Structure 1
């Protein structure tokens, strides 16, 4: 399990940068403690930033989620949400472990197939999919979430021409988020269920899915219960195969200890950020773990006192879960090489560290937020007595290109040529928003596995 080294506490008044020490998986701790030279060599040779991928941690997360679902009494299929990270290594791991892939479009579907995941274990969840994607879906027997009645008609026509039968989920809006841009309204769902029965030679209705923003277990359980009721209604109306409820992703990841997170929330203020930036919303970095969330969702009472998992078993309902971030917890980190240090402590009270790379490699900026876990200063040099407060900037010409807006208390002055390590970046951070801005090449990914019996870690470039 991840561990967290002790961190200095903030002083009164917020003058001392608040420490949000990131949790570290034992594999990550071993690499940083025993293989710093290898990591530095890889960064120098392959460029900055460099993403380090850890598929063995991904595989451990899959096993842990399977155990949590079983312990919660849930009969469930796991589909890894491919959009959370573009690396091929995780698709290969998914194929080896027998889990599926949630693909949002043709490129992700093709990568899933190329990585060894069979079509019947691939779910397609993108909105209003085009006919070319429908043709691939039908050809490979994927499970497709349909967003509208018109899409359902187009998919049925594609299946008829191919002489096949498409496997379908109807994505439906929920009572808790009726304004979602995804899914069918109540009236549209009613029409779609009837149409599935009419077109039974070309489409098979396997169940219902929904899109839900946020991480609330109660909301997700309530929405899942709605979908169970939709399955029961569809069976009565001529679709006996309606037995799947896709609850999506939304399983949280814990990046820092809850006590640290709560302390940060209580004292957070604009003075802690470059330019007194006032952020209004952050990811819940110190919240529940994915396993805790699964237990809370499946144990949630529905229709009185019965648990969600119990109701599902009683009606022969199987769940589909589409975690992205949760399966990537601790499964990668990002190295930035320090390019320059502008020491403004005398004037402003903090320095600006410029790294080779940009904030496009930490996609929390995409959401108008900041990636809050402290970056590590990777160095063999001893720490000093005084903290070195600094923000981290990218090397582009954009004023807003701040990799970390928050003032970080580094254990010694940061110097040109040092390396900063951003932990736990595999889930939605490292490549969701990357861009070849300034004609810069996209960062590379190095796949590492610890060696057995004390042998050095093995590495390769992702996709090789």
Structure 2
């Protein structure tokens, strides 16, 4: 019996013609059959467009800047390849990421090494290839200086990462006293170190705090130059927001959703949700940052950078991966329980990382039925093969033995009753969702990544991504 109810909160994604073309191409059922399990498809043209938009925003503001793709946001090799081809660098935080970037065409001097408490071997490897290192502690600085002085590596290119005053409990960055000590040691190290500037790691997605801290780091560059240091670059890290949905849908969702809309009465703190809508996003957020005025200053961020002759570096991840891929599961079981459905798919929530941060990936998944209902839904007799029309609310669980392993706790109002064998597509998952937490739990295979190459008319062509590790 169909569940005929209304009023279920929805969060529709922004339209994307490239994704829609894949959904309607007939390719996904074939890939699901071939792989026998979940998979991700990648749309690298979206990455190219996002990178060009950020580079254009820098140029429009007259700011000298350089973009590093934050590799941690997605392990796929194709995005590293596109970064290299598009004149960008790559932000890495491990030896494996560094080797992968080099192996896919990124020059050593176009790498930046971030992350806390970096191992000496990793620091040596980065210095040997001429990578820029965001130094997070005095120990790291001492390791790099000692290696250079003994001739084991070339002079180290470094940024000193600053602890933001607005986030004093952050585990990233050097405190004020540590920063003063680091500057003294850079001066004493002489040619063993190229102190190229400063960086920061700031949690959250607000623009104004980034504008304020950017101006503060420019001031630090000017002071460091008095000491004889190069200090001509600053990195603002990542944190540029993107929008998955429109403003009305997002605010309506937040206002209407309650624990009754989730399986087992699950409750989420709305403050733990990613902000799925932002007034400005991606390259527009970068433009807003450059046009903003730091607190207590008359000049814009762009003017402050230009006047000081400071190059702006950034390390976006999610913001470069907007609309660059999606995740596909096959439904392998359907139950009805207390007025809603429980779907079980052929994978785990490890492929949708928000669940493992006590949150929920909220954009509505798309049902690709084997026998879709066409036209209006008023007449259930329109459903082919006896399938009943919706709305049919259902939550989505994983193929594991854990009660908590849910891909979607929320009861999604599907257009028609899902059936075993239908596909469920989670849109816009390339940024952090695909592989931050994937694991072969239950010896299930980690979902492969399929690169969709653009074709001029006709059907999309695909190939497996060439990730090394």
TM range (shorter): over 0.9
Question: Structure 1 residue 259 and structure 2 residue 248: aligned?
Answer: yes
2:441 corresponds to 1:441 = no
Residue pair 1:47, 1:443 contacting (<8 A) in 2 also: no
Aligned to 2:381: none
Q: Work out the CA distance in 2 between the residues paired with 1:327 and 1:278.
A: 31
2:140 is aligned with 1:137: no
Runs (5+) with no aligned partner, structure 2: 379-389
User: Which residue of the partner structure matches residue 385 of structure 2?
Assistant: none
Verify the 8 A CA contact 2:329 2:425 in the aligned structure 1.
Answer: yes
Distance 1:47 1:332 in 2: 19
Corresponding position: 1:350 with 2:304: no
Unaligned runs of at least 5 residues, structure 1 = 1-10
How many pairs align?
445
Q: Secondary structure at the match of 2:40?
A: strand
Which residue is 2:310 aligned to? 317
Give runs of aligned pairs for residues 15-414 of structure 1, distance below 5 A.
16-33=7-24, 35=25, 37-160=26-149, 161-162=151-152, 164-239=154-229, 241-280=230-269, 281-287=272-278, 288-302=280-294, 303-344=296-337, 348-379=338-369, 381-382=372-373, 384-385=377-378, 386-414=390-418
Provide the residue aligned with 1:6 in structure 2.
none
Q: TM-score, normalised by structure 2?
A: 0.92
Offset at residue 74 of structure 1 (A): 2.7
The CA distance in 1 between the partners of 2:288 and 2:50, in whole Å, is 18
TM-score by length of structure 1 reads 0.93
My pick for the range that moved more, 146-155 or 285-294, is 285-294
Is the Cα contact below 8 Å between 1:79 and 1:100 reproduced in 2? yes
Mapped pair 1:415 → 2:419: yes
SS in 2 for 1:168: strand
Q: Distance in 1 between matches of 2:156 and 2:283?
A: 33
> How far is 1:265 from its partner?
1.1
Alpha-carbon offset, residue 314 of structure 1:
0.1
Secondary structure of 2:334's aligned partner: strand
Are the aligned partners of 1:72 and 1:294 in contact in 2 as well (CA < 8 Å)? no
In the aligned structure 2, how far is the partner of 1:71 from the partner of 1:366?
39
Deviation at 1:163, TM superposition (A): 5.3
Task: Give the Cα separation in 1 of the matches to 2:112 and 2:141.
Answer: 16
Q: Which moved more, 1:56-65 or 1:408-417?
A: 56-65
- Asked if the contact 2:136–2:174 (Cα under 8 Å) also holds between the matched residues in 1, the reply is yes
| C-alpha deviation, 1:68, in angstroms | 2.1
Distance 1:149 1:138 in 2: 16
Q: CA RMSD in A?
A: 1.4
| Deviation by residue 1:370-424 (Cα, 9 ceiling, x = unmatched) | 0000000013511544301000000100000000011100000000000000000
SS at the partner of 2:82? Answer: helix
Post-superposition CA distance 1:108-148 (Å, at most 9, x none):
10100001000000000011211111121111000000011
State how far apart, in whole Å, the 2-side matches of 1:111 and 1:375 are: 32
